[in-house]
Amino acid sequence: MELADLRELLGPDQPKYRAQQLFDALYKRHVANFSEISNLPQPLLNQLVTISTLNGPTSEKRFDSVDGTKRYLLRLEDNRTVETVLMPEEHRDTICISSQIGCPVDCKFCLTALMGLERNLTAGEIVGQVLFVARANGLNARDSRMNVVMMGMGEPLLNLENVLKATRILTDESGVGMSQKRITVSTSGIIPKMEELGRAEVRPKLAISLNASNEEQRRELMPITRKYHLADLMKACKAYPLRTWEKLTFEYVLLKDVNDTDADARRVVRLVSRLNCKVNLIALNPGPGIPFETPTAERVGSFQEIVRKAVPCFVRKPRGRDIFAACGQLKRVNEERVEE
């Protein structure tokens, strides 16, 4: 809930500052129980218990990778679970959160796709993942080390209303206080929702999963391209209202002998070179039921060399592959497999 929602919850009889006290307790002090809010009068606390709940997610399981990555299986109020990943690095900590349980977009290289969509996450469940992981690891959300990427399970732009609300809560100065510059949302290219995102006053940075170098190839790998054509997606990127400090990010999963040739790299350059952007390459993280292979490091390097001549281009290190926490590997039915 945002401040306005809390005001509404408390009703017109309460003085206005009560909502702010409740807001502080939730998002600054991170209380786990209403009873811990000592500056609210007891009758109001009693009333709160009857009209609302304060159920953040709880940890069902945690998987620790040799590289320091932690994958959490978090249990929600309706007993469904969702995956959240923490990637600590020397100079920054990145929390990768989910926006949906499963995903309705049918990308052929992604394990989450095999689940289909179970449901959208609420704004509270999106914020709850960040607060849970921060608290469990002693991280301060205000710290400039802290980054949040909506690159876990789900297509965030198909749950845009809740994603935007969660972003407003996470970035509210009087609460959690994260910078908008430290939150990134990644999309498979839901064009009308990109336009809506661009109009939002408070919004995360935008990353686009490009993953193919031409229309036909993208249709094969990401069938959503039949609805939102690559050509139109690139037009939407060009029209996207970047803030002064912002660049678009393109993500590109490299699939051996499918989209990883030098000719592909040159086509990618033609697609993105006129945009204020950078490109992140990810060699495929393999998984059961994914009918593709990972290219060699040399192939990835040669692809990067070509793209780098036009725009900044980085290779993303795989993190937490051993615990099935890497990009595209989040899918709960693999739990048993992981523990073997």
The reply to whether 23 sits near ligand SAH by the rule CB under 6 A is: no
The reply to whether 294 sits near ligand SF4 by the rule CB under 6 A is: no
Mark whether 107 is an active-site residue: no
* DSSP structure class, residue 172: -
- Decide: 95 and 134 in contact? Cβ < 8 Å: yes
For 3, 57, 152, 303, the CA distances from 176, given in Å and listed in that order, are 13, 17, 21, 40
- Looking at the Cβ atoms of 37 and 277, the one nearer to ligand SAH is 277
| Tokens at 211, concatenated | 């993953």
The reply to whether 328 sits near ligand SAH by the rule CB under 6 A is: yes
Q: Could you tell me which residues come within 8 angstroms of residue 213 by beta carbon, excluding any fewer than 6 positions away?
A: 259, 263, 264, 265, 267, 268, 271
Among positions 102-161, residues that touch ligand SAH (CB under 6 A) are 103, 109-110, 151, 155
Comparing CA positions, the residue from 214, 204, 211 lying closest to residue 250 is: 211
Shortest reach from residue 186's CB to ligand SAH, in Å: 4
Stretch of 37-45, 75-83, 130-138, 183-191 contacting ligand SAH, by CB under 6 A: 183-191
Count of beta carbons in the 10 Å neighbourhood of residue 16: 10
Q: Residue 253 binds what, of ligand SAH, ligand SF4, none (CB under 5 to 8 Å, by partner type)?
A: ligand SAH
- Binding marks (x or -) toward ligand SF4, 197..236, rule CB under 6 A? ------------x---------------------------
Phi, psi (deg, nearest 5) at residue 106 = -100, 50
Question: At CA 100, angle to CA 237 and CA 151, rounded to 5?
Answer: 50
The reply to whether 284 sits near ligand SAH by the rule CB under 6 A is: yes
Catalytic residue among 36, 83, 251, 339: 83
The reply to whether 251 sits near ligand SAH by the rule CB under 6 A is: yes
Number of residues binding to ligand SF4, judged by CB under 6 A: 10
- Looking at the Cβ atoms of 26 and 107, the one nearer to ligand SF4 is 107
Tell me the C-alpha distance between 237 and 272, whole Å.
9
Among positions 184-203, residues that touch ligand SAH (CB under 6 A) are 186-188
Mark whether 83 is an active-site residue: yes
For 197, 209, 255, 300, 317, the CA distances from 284, given in Å and listed in that order, are 28, 13, 6, 10, 11
- Looking at the Cβ atoms of 177 and 198, the one nearer to ligand SAH is 198
- Decide: 105 and 159 in contact? Cβ < 8 Å: no
Count of beta carbons in the 10 Å neighbourhood of residue 297: 10
Shortest reach from residue 251's CB to ligand SAH, in Å: 4
- In the chain, the N- to C-terminal Cα span, in Å, equals 40
Tell me the C-alpha distance between 129 and 76, whole Å.
10
Stretch of 87-95, 100-108, 118-126, 298-306 contacting ligand SF4, by CB under 6 A: 100-108
The reply to whether 188 sits near ligand SF4 by the rule CB under 6 A is: yes
- Chain positions contacting ligand SAH, by CB under 6 A: 103, 109-110, 151, 155, 186-188, 209, 211, 251, 253, 282, 284-285, 287, 290, 327-328
- Chain positions contacting ligand SF4, by CB under 6 A: 103, 105, 107, 110, 112-113, 154-155, 188, 209
**Which residues are identified as catalytic?**
83, 327
